Chains A and B, each alone.
Chain A
């Protein structure tokens, strides 16, 4: 059971105020930006804050954002790679 992905979806909905979206409706591999959830550049910054707040990971380079935040799965992979103690 991948609790990290489930947790991330909930955190994304909360952090970005996606009031009309249920966490379980976000696909693991669904693009978050442009098509997909239609997030924008300010949302990307909020996701950077999310990484810091919940996972203590600092994304220093905003240019890495598009790769890291491409989908929930890529976010989870990045968190695991940078925080090994997460299962």
Chain B
């Protein structure tokens, strides 16, 4: 029988609203993604100067992971190699690619080039939290909750990981959407079962414009 795992926390960022565990925790009507992301950073009073250097995809995914993990994952609960990150999106690093390409007209910017890979956001989350477990980035047309359920269940049930941050992080110009889940073996109060139906419900909380 398939062992059950649990979504012990979730975070969704889309359409000017940040949700933690399905409740809105911050809202800010900014015209563009860049200002909105900065307002989230300021609102939650995070002090991490490296944030400013990140591209939009990394900022979005990293902020979503900060909101996801605050008060939901106590430091020291797991060893570094027991926690992994599995993310997906449709636009890969296209937003960063465009900005880097722009810079090549005059002087190619190394700090922009660094972000022209979609998995750098995984790297940023791992650096921040010292997560050294298995990690991956898949490029898919739409958020495939069935795929994530199967993939992450396999990692946790086979003890390749004890906990996993997984989900969807996508940005392209003014469109953005991040939906992250913290998946663990044991439930906590107000956890949901880790199923594709539950991930789909949380994903649909607010429909962004990316690939809708």
Which of A18, A19, A38, A49 lies in contact with B109, CB distance below 8 A? A49
B174: min CB distance to chain A, Å: 20
B49 near A42 (CB under 8 angstroms)? no
Q: Is A17 an interface residue (CB 8 A)?
A: yes
Which of B52, B106, B107 lies in contact with A17, CB distance below 8 A? B52
Q: Is A43 an interface residue (CB 8 A)?
A: yes
* Proximity bits, B35-49, A CB within 8 Å = 1, else 0: 000000000000001
Q: Is B73 an interface residue (CB 8 A)?
A: no
Give the chain A neighbours of B109 by CB distance below 8 A. Answer: 46, 49
A20 near B110 (CB under 8 angstroms)? no
- Residue on B nearest A40 in the bound complex, by CB: B50
A59: min CB distance to chain B, Å: 13
A38 near B49 (CB under 8 angstroms)? yes
- For chain B, the count of residues having a C-beta within 8 Å of the partner chain is 10
Q: Is B211 an interface residue (CB 8 A)?
A: no
- For chain A, the count of residues having a C-beta within 8 Å of the partner chain is 13
Q: Is A45 an interface residue (CB 8 A)?
A: yes
* Proximity bits, A1-37, B CB within 8 Å = 1, else 0: 0000000000000001111100000000000000000
CA distance A53 to B107 in the complex (A): 7
**Residue among A17, A20, A43 with the most chain B CB within 10 A?**
A17
CA distance A53 to B109 in the complex (A): 11
* Proximity bits, B57-100, A CB within 8 Å = 1, else 0: 00000000000000000000000000000000000000000000
Which of A16, A20, A42 lies in contact with B114, CB distance below 8 A? A42
A42 near B111 (CB under 8 angstroms)? yes
Q: Is B53 an interface residue (CB 8 A)?
A: yes
Residues of B at under 8 Å CB distance from A? 49, 52-53, 106-111, 114
Residues of A at under 8 Å CB distance from B? 16-20, 38, 42-43, 45-46, 49, 52-53
Sort A-B residue pairs by CB-CB distance and give the 7 closest, nearest first: A45-B110, A19-B52, A17-B52, A49-B107, A42-B111, A46-B111, A53-B107
Q: A16-B53, A18-B52, A46-B109 are in contact. List 17 more A-B contacts (CB 8 A).
A: A16-B111, A17-B53, A17-B111, A18-B49, A19-B52, A20-B52, A38-B49, A42-B53, A42-B110, A42-B114, A45-B111, A46-B110, A46-B111, A49-B108, A52-B107, A53-B106, A53-B107
